Amino acid sequence: MMKKFPNFKPHSDTETEELISLLFRKLNIDELIFLLRVLQRDIRAKYTLTKIIKKNINLKLDS
């Protein structure tokens, strides 16, 4: 059974930007291009991406 997505304390914009930068440095160029294309689409694509990220977080929390 999957755990409920945890509530994270809000970060400042600079902290968030730094965390995202660190994450993106770990991705290869193809993954970055894919994310860029998804984020440049519409709100539904962003919703889908958010849903996938939350699902993966829950999978990591369960393991």
Per-residue pLDDT, 5: 61
Q: Which helix (H) or strand (E) holds 62?
A: helix 43-62
Say if CB 45 and CB 35 are below 8 A apart: no
For 12, the token pair is: 């400042």
Segment 4-22, tens digit of pLDDT? 666 767 667 787 788 888 8
Higher pLDDT, residue 40 or 1: 40
Q: What is the pTM of this model?
A: 0.50
Write the burial class of residue 57 (CB in 10 Å: 0-12 exposed, 13-18 middle, 19+ buried): middle
Say if CB 57 and CB 5 are below 8 A apart: yes
The percent of residues above 90 in pLDDT, for the chain, comes to: 0
Alpha carbon distances (Å) from 6 to 13, 34, 37: 20, 27, 28
Q: Is the confidence at residue 2, as pLDDT, over 60?
A: no
Band of residue 3 on the pLDDT scale cut at 50, 70, 90: low
